[in-house]
Amino acid sequence: MKILLLSLALATPALAAPARQTEADGYTRYELLDPASHKFRILYDVTATTPGATAYYNPIRPGSAATDERVADRATGKPLPFREVDGATAQAGGVLNARPDGRYIEVSLARPVPPGGGARVFIDKTYEDAPSYYEKDGTLFFDRPLGIARNAVVLPPGYELIGSNVPAQILQQPDGRVMISFWNSSGAAAPLRLQARKARFAVSPQAGKLPERALQTRNIVYYLEAPETGRFNLTHDYTESRPGTATYVNIVRTGSTVSDPSAQDLDTGAPIPHEILRGAALKATAPELKDVTETTEAVVFRFTPVGAGETRRIRITETYTDTARYKLSAGELDWHRSFGRAANAVVLPQGWALTNSSIPATVSRTADGRTRLDFINPRPDEIDVRITASRTAP
């Protein structure tokens, strides 16, 4: 009998541990309702990135009561099935640190997450939370730590902002409401504390016209090759939401040469075709471009036109050579390039130790042991990035 039981135990495969849930590109917009209700609407965009995952779990914060939930697939705009589950169910689904008594929204994804891609989810819900949202002595308080990096809070109609402990853009909406938007690059939850009061004021002619920096969808990562070559690979992720759009034109920066371009639909994993055009051919394809000369070069990517209510999440991969901006100088790696986008990262080659960065960055190590610098620029201007590194001893 013991031999039989041992044989059965050896023949029965061990249950595989669930893959840890991973996510990216979170953005949260809080719309404050009547402060007497202690309620605020949460509009949350997130990308589920666990390869093969068919569900995503969104936590309901302890102490908050969630109502009016709605979930949709960002790629198609169509509703997604969901249900509220306990922490044990979420833990079995990949939220490894879930508390058994916790509550989660389990979202059934439209398709399994493709390798290297993601499933973009939109969650709309309303919270009631008196300790973090209330009015006292005529002053509105929104006092809540926010763990997501990109956030916006919209005040109720007829309220002016009188206090914010976090540096943020102040952007009036077309309907007159005031929005506080910020990018938290610290890696820790931002201890946000807002104060507002009732007031009468006009709607600015600039309402709704100034771009919200935290809402941007572009992420660029530069992977540096040996500095002697002046070469670097890059990935450029962006979201296309304009109905009817079917191309993306990437102008090659003057002084650079491009090679090995490719692109992928991150929602489906499908490849996207491309061609390299110059001069008149480029102008014929993209007549809206200005200052196109016979030497202007661009990589043109073509994809299925974006339908009404749809979006496309696209990753462009290219290799550039630019010996003026990336080189070996006096024996050290020297990278000098301006970044106009809000989110950029630079990954150093193997065997190089970071010595200088002219712009503040968060520093981490990649899975293959390379040094990565992430630059977040919350302002609508360029940053002048200069990076140097020295060879490490063998």
Which candidate, 120, 75, 358, 318, places its Cα nearest to that of 220?
318
pTM of the model: 0.89
Give the model's pLDDT for residue 16. 64
Q: Which residues of 76-104 are buried (b: 16+ CB within 10 A; e: fewer)?
A: beeebebeebebebbbebbbeebeeebbb
Name the one residue in this structure whose structure tokens are 């009547």. 34
CATH 2.60.40.1730 assigned to domain 219-391? The reply is yes
Give the model's pLDDT for residue 2. 47
CATH of domain 23-215: 2.60.40
Give the model's pLDDT for residue 186. 84
Q: What's the rounded Cα separation, in Å, for the pair 77 and 309?
A: 5
Give the model's pLDDT for residue 1. 47
If DSSP codes are grouped into helix, strand and coil, which group holds residue 227? Answer: helix
Q: What's the rounded Cα separation, in Å, for the pair 356 and 138?
A: 50
pLDDT along the chain (394 residues), means of 10: 46 65 96 97 97 96 88 97 96 94 96 95 96 96 95 98 96 98 90 97 96 94 97 95 93 84 94 92 86 88 94 95 95 96 96 97 96 94 97 89
